[in-house]
Amino acid sequence: MKKNLILAASIVMMSCAGNQDVKVPAIDRANFDETAAINQDFYQYANGGWMASHPMKPEYSRYGAFEMLGEQNEVRLNDIFSTLAEQQNEQGSVAQKIADLYKLGLDSARLNSEGAAPLMAGIGEIRQATDKKEISRLAGKMHGGMGSPFFSLYVDADLMNSTTNILYLNQGGLGIGDRDYYLDEENEAIRQAYMIYVEKVFRLAGFTEQQAQQAVKSVMGIENAIAKASRSNVALRDTRANYNMFTTKEVKERYKNIDWDAFAEGAGFALPAQINIGQPEVIEAVDALIAKSSMEQLKDYLTFNLIDNRTSYLSDDFYNAAFDFYSKALSGVQEQKPRWKRALAVTNGTLSEAVGEIYVEKYFPAENKEKMLELVSNLQKALGQHIDALEWMSDATKAKAREKLATFYVKIGYPDKWKDYSSLEIDPSLSYAENMERASSWRAAEQLAEIGKPVDREKWHMSPQTVNAYYNPTTNEICFPAAILQPPFFNPDADDAVNYGAIGVVIGHEMTHGFDDQGRNFDKDGNMTDWWTAEDAKAFNALAAILVDQFNQIDVMEGLKADGALTLGENIADQGGLRVAYTAMKNAQNGLEPEPIDGLTADQRFYLGYAAVWAQNIRPEEVARRTKMDVHSVGELRVNATLRNIDTFHKAFGITDGAMYLPEEERVIIW
């Protein structure tokens, strides 16, 4: 349920050489394509020069300013990790854990010499299973460590009682990740590539050709059945329909072929009195699969799940096989990232807050937090003005909306309380994969121990070094990690127009998520309650339907249209973020129009700054993948399709015709 905005930007690029930053103009005309007509393709006009001078790198499926900032972060983190790796670190210290895990990831000679050896104990345990109770226990063991067979499992706040954590069980268990890859005829090539991958990793793990081919049939048979029962990505956005609380007694009675006690034992937790099952029909399908599938089929499926979740921590043969499918076939990536980047990503993800504490001390000036708090306050005021001015919402609902806005919990930069990693052991005498299994089990145990406990509102769901932001409806919080609070998103030296067009829109976007088609279902306390009048809800849905239809009409590429229903929440937040940030900018100007800079008015710089956030080159395979699975529209649409609804954008550039022009009566305003 957590909302997040994955961003890319090129507003103010800064190169990092040690701690020395080199400033670049906030708006650089070299990034424009002035041969493009603003009224026909504003995205191309604002970003065409940038895209031409920043061709796609072979290791990426999408390369934009976001990836450029990510590369800067990689350099920074590599500097931290390399320094730690070269020094003597006390055993059990954070420095030791970071350094040793990083070195394990870099040691290609050791990884290649070990081959499939780190898999053997786990595979042996699966192959020795003699009954389906043991299948349930082994599935639970994977969920309590590294893997997620049959379905997904997690702990989070109860949507109806946001102060308490509960156990959620949702659809999952699909290696390709999305049901449409299994069901749609157009995805046959992807399925064929997947089957080649499954067979290859079985062969690498020591299975005979015949065994590997049989395993492919087992895996595809089980995953196809799960996919057929699974809900679409659009259906998964219906918050209320995906909240179904059952007593554990009811779960055991409904799904008798899963041994829930054995499952919980394997995962290492005690079954709670209640479990929320998001999609009961999917668990019913899994239950039927366990009943009718042979032991060999089930063991093949679990074995693949085990191997598949460890390929990043094994020899080059395993990594190459996974890369060929997940990166090359699915997203069109041509070249692997260098080993140091891969090792860095694993270490950063595993010890994220420990790394974050070091990162913040070195790269996040304390004054940035104060400036952000001021910006957030300005955006809250502007959103309140928009709520008050809505013609379609009644005063009663407006009052509730203002209450929710006033109680937003704001997190900026880094946590006040850092995660304790003292009980996680990283042992360099063990293999990379074994250490990652240990880390995964530690993380799962930490999460499962929260079942039934109060929600920790101080907990962060992103690390400080993450270039991202999110809104969480159950805590009614907006979070902006340190890494996004720097150029290009937030530049204390840039003019207000550019900052409001960049970080201002990010802030407004996350605030608007509290009132999008999902966030609006939660009250100021984070509980899923209906605080709208029936008339207001009807008016909101009518406006949202117009926005859905607008995006549904867009050809993303030949034979593929945008999915307005899937991306509705993010499209609402993009539009709301733009409108609210623009109002906040005008409030800051206090009626005084700034002088143009480089021939560009403040309004023009605001919208050019926003467009530059989405400058990117992207592979066709990645466009197709994201259109099917991602709740965010592709970058070009986040500019062109969204701006067509903004009155002040039309005025800023004098747009009265062309593809960017939308007649005023057809423009939709929600927030």
Q: What is the CATH number of the domain that holds 527?
A: 3.40.390.10
Residues 514 and 639 in one domain: yes
Q: What is the pLDDT of residues 489-509, one digit of tens each?
A: 887 778 999 999 999 999 999
Query: pLDDT at position 14, please?
Result: 28
Question: Which positions ≥6 away from 662 have C-beta within 8 Å?
Answer: 644, 645
C-alpha span between 371 and 293 (Å, rounded): 59
**Residue 357 and residue 327 share a domain:** no
Tokens 């800067």, residue?
72
Residue 20 lies in a domain: yes
If you average pLDDT over every residue of the chain, what do you get? 94
Strands 3-5 and 469-472: antiparallel
Angle at which helices 260-267 and 132-143 cross, to 10°: 40
Asked if residue 34 is part of any domain, the answer here is: yes
- Spatial separation of the C-alpha atoms in residues 554 and 644, rounded to whole Å: 13
DSSP letter (8 states) at residue 119? G
Q: How far apart are CA 656 and CA 314, in angstroms?
A: 58
The pLDDT of residue 17 is above 50: no
| Mean pLDDT on 605-619 | 94
Confidence at residue 189, expressed as pLDDT on a 0 to 100 scale:
96
Please tell me whether residues 140 and 166 are part of one structural domain.
yes
Co-location of 166 and 38 in the same domain = no
Instruction: Say if residue 599 is in the same domain as residue 624.
Output: yes
Tell whether 91 is covered by a domain.
no
> Is 11 a residue whose pLDDT tops 50?
no
219-248 pLDDT, tens digit per residue, is 999 999 999 999 999 999 999 999 999 999
Task: Using the 3D structure, point to which of 290, 313, 336 is the last residue of a domain.
Answer: 336
Domain with residue 183: its CATH number is: 1.10.1380.10
Q: What is the CA radius of gyration of the chain?
A: 25
Which has the closest alpha carbon to 517: 661, 631, 638?
Answer: 631
CA–CA distance, 315 with 275 (Å, rounded to integer) = 39
Query: pLDDT band at 25, cuts 50/70/90?
Result: low
Is 379's pLDDT higher than 50?
yes
Mind listing the pLDDT tens digit for each residue in 268-287? 999 999 999 999 999 999 99
Q: Is residue 81 part of a domain?
A: no
Asked if residue 343 belongs to a domain, the reply is no
Residues 468 and 574 in one domain: yes
CA distances from 506 to 182, 408, 574, 582 (A): 35, 15, 8, 12
Domain boundary, last residue among 336, 362, 388: 336
**Same-domain status, 151 and 233:** yes
Is 267 or 372 the better-scoring residue by pLDDT? 267
Structural domain that includes position 158: 117-336
Please give the tally of structural domains in the chain: 2
| Whether residue 377 is found in the same domain as residue 498 | yes
Answer yes or no: do 298 and 367 share one domain: no
Say yes or no: 326 and 383 in one domain.
no
Q: How far apart, in whole angstroms, are the C-alpha atoms of residue 339 and residue 319? A: 11
Pick from 304, 336, 368: which residue ends a domain? 336
Q: Taking every pair of C-alpha atoms in the chain, what is the biggest distance, in angstroms?
A: 78
Decide the pairing of beta strands 62-64 and 616-618. antiparallel
Residue 436 belongs to a domain: no
- Per-residue CA distances from 108 to 45, 529, 599, 613 (Å): 45, 53, 54, 37
Strands (E), 90-222: 151-158, 161-171
Alpha-carbon span 211 to 132, nearest angstrom: 21
**Residue 127 clears pLDDT 50, i.e. is over it:** yes
Q: Is the pLDDT of residue 5 over 60?
A: no
pTM score above 0.75 = yes
Q: Identify whether residues 480 and 611 lie together within a single domain.
A: yes
Within this chain, do residues 322 and 409 fall inside the same structural domain, yes or no? no
The arithmetic mean of pLDDT across residues 614-627, rounded, is 94
Question: So what's the pLDDT on residue 23?
Answer: 63
d(CA 513, CA 55) in angstroms, rounded, equals 33
Does 486 fall in a domain? yes
Tens-place pLDDT, residues 332-344:
999 999 999 999 9
Pair 31, 46: CB distance under 8 Å = yes
For residue 437, tell me if it sits in a domain: no
What token pair was written down for 315?
């020899």
pLDDT of residue 15: 28
